[in-house]
Chain A
Amino acid sequence: MKFIRIFMNDSYGNEYSLKLFSGGKLSTTQYALFAIQIAVVILLSWLGVIATPVVGPGIGFLYWAYPFFIVFTWWWGLWGVLAAFLGCFIGAGLLTGLPLIPSLAFSIGDLVPALLVLLFYRGFLNKIGVDPLGRDITKKKMSAFWFVFWVMGITNIIGGLWGVWVLVQLGFVPANAYWYGAGLWILGDAIVLIIAPFLARALTPIVERFGLTTKGIIS
């Protein structure tokens, strides 16, 4: 119960929180930015599938969009989560020839990790002193631990297990190959996630300076 109270508590010392509309109305620049960042994630998801080795049916090894939508989720809350979902659905799904239903089910595998990262960073981790925008991962051991444990570990594993399970259910991946496929998926994503802390450290000050981050999870 204590954990849940901490998780749901909105009175953080930090200005970033789990409130829906902390920043008031969205500006036109933010409106354009959120559309463009979704386009970027779609583009990178597409490149992640067509320009990297395909190691299994529907499984590209280096999924370049992953670190981007994690950083975008830190910066822009639910808009980053939406980019994760649409990027996977359109970029890694439809644009590579994966059909509608598999693409939709498959993209849950990106939506859930992004959502869990958002909730944990803006909620619990923010409360215990970890930067919700991921700037301190390369500086503080505790932040690095939570990044490895939560982002590269738990959420990535959930996404990988779900994604390959969907492919098995739809008859794309043989049931016997489930653990092998999931292992490759998780390993590939963990490798590309290495760039997320560097991206956050280099670019967060610029995004903040332009006033483009969302203090709440929508605005």
Chain B
Amino acid sequence: MSDTMAERKNREGQKKYLKTILFSAKADSVFVNLHPFTKFALFFILSIAVILAMTKSHPDLVFSLIVFIVVLALLLESGTLKYVIKSYLSLLFVAFIVFLIWWLIFNQIGNSILFSMHIGNYYFKITRESLYVGVAKVFGYAAMAFLTLLILMTTRDVDIVDALNQLKVPFKQTFFISLIFRSLNIMEEDLESIRHAQFARGGKAAKKNPLSRVKEFLALSIPLTALMIKRAVEMGSALEARGFSKSKKLSEPVVKKRIGSADYLAIIFSIIALYISITMNVTNVLGGHIWTSLL
């Protein structure tokens, strides 16, 4: 999750990239500078819209595809698409393939057979209908997966703290949440250090047998937990030395985000998308039955 790009600056000494929850994003991106409330609303409303599109009796492939393309464009605009490709593409690709295989195996619908075979007593077929449903589900899932990554890759922990302050969440709760996000990177580095130390002492790389992997993980888990307790004790002392228990509020953030016209546009876009998803099936409106017969 840590990245040196976060430190990159231009000639005027301004940061070109900002460190976010996952990796970093362009500092001057429109999407990155949206208010966290807007991003949350967009995330929530679009997720509902895509789930509705996916769970229709005839899943709305075109709607999911449009959301997917919009999200890809926003990933590009925010400078985060490269991180998705470098770090998540192989993981997501496997997930999408597994997704499609499950829908082809366990959703034996339709009569227009494209492929069939017998495996013992089991008759397996791929039909136009089952393939369509599988592809529509994959695009729906892909749209939501990329949307989630977009939100995480363009939001800073400071934004969350700022948003919680604006919501008048008490200081200790806000600080607790910010501590969770800040500890993520620290504990990830600790976990890596333990793994490297174990390899240096002759520890073996991951084995395929699940029980061997459990045994290997046990060797990792005890130092990790012990280190976690040590960190907490150190952090507790440091907080107390700075008068934490007597503090009443967090220091004011340097830059406060305000809701602007881009925020309103994003909210309007998501509400329109939800309305479309509830009231119509875009694929059918554009002649989806004909496409299925072309498969």
A residues contacting B by CB (< 8 A) are 27-40, 42-43, 50, 54-57, 61-62, 64, 67-68, 71, 86, 94-102, 170-177, 180, 188, 191-192, 194-195, 198-199, 202-203, 206-207, 210, 212
Does residue B222 face the partner (Cβ distance < 8 Å to A)?
yes
- CB-CB under 8 A for A57 and B180, given A36-B228, A62-B210: no
Which residues from 104 to 126 on chain B have a C-beta closer than 8 Å to any C-beta of chain A?
105-108
Are A36 and B183 interface neighbours, CB within 8 A?
A: yes
What residues of A have a CB within 8 angstroms of the CB of B152 in the complex? 94-95
Contact B188 A33 (CB under 8 A): no
- Chain A residues with Cβ below 8 Å from B135 are none
Q: Interface size for chain B: under 10, 10 to 19, 20 to 34, or 35 or more residues?
A: 35 or more
Nearest B residue (CB) for A194: B214
Q: List 20 A–B pairs whose Cβ atoms lie within 8 Å, in order of A's numbering.
A: A29-B235, A31-B176, A35-B176, A35-B180, A36-B183, A36-B231, A40-B187, A57-B102, A62-B213, A97-B149, A99-B47, A99-B51, A100-B43, A170-B55, A172-B137, A173-B106, A176-B106, A195-B217, A206-B226, A210-B233
B17 at the interface (CB under 8 A from A): no
- Check A198–B229 contact: CB distance below 8 A: no
Shortest distance between the CB of B65 and any CB in chain A (Å):
16
Contact A97-B106, Cβ < 8 Å, known A28-B236, A29-B237, A50-B91: no
Nearest CB to that of B133 among chain A residues? A174
Once A43-B187, A99-B50 are accepted as A-B contacts, the answer to whether A199 and B55 lie under 8 Å apart by CB is: no
Query: Is B167 part of the binding interface, using a Cβ–Cβ cutoff of 8 Å?
Result: no
Q: Nearest A residue to B213 by beta-carbon distance?
A: A62
CA distance A195 to B176 in the complex (A): 29
Chain B: which residue is nearest A51 at the CB level?
B206
Q: Is the CB of B233 within 8 A of A191?
A: no
B285: chain A residues at CB < 8 Å are none
- What is the CA–CA distance of A171 and B137 in the complex, to the nearest angstrom? 8
Q: Is the CB of A173 within 8 A of B102?
A: yes
Interchain CA distance A42-B157 in the complex, whole Å: 15
The stretch among B6-14, B138-146, B265-273 that forms the contact with chain A is B138-146
For the complex of A and B, list the 9 residue pairs with the smallest distance between their C-beta atoms, beginning with the closest.
A29-B236, A97-B145, A33-B232, A39-B183, A174-B106, A35-B179, A99-B144, A177-B106, A32-B235
Instruction: Report the bound CA distance from A98 to B39 in whole Å.
Output: 16
Chain B residues, Cβ within 8 Å of A172: 99, 137, 141
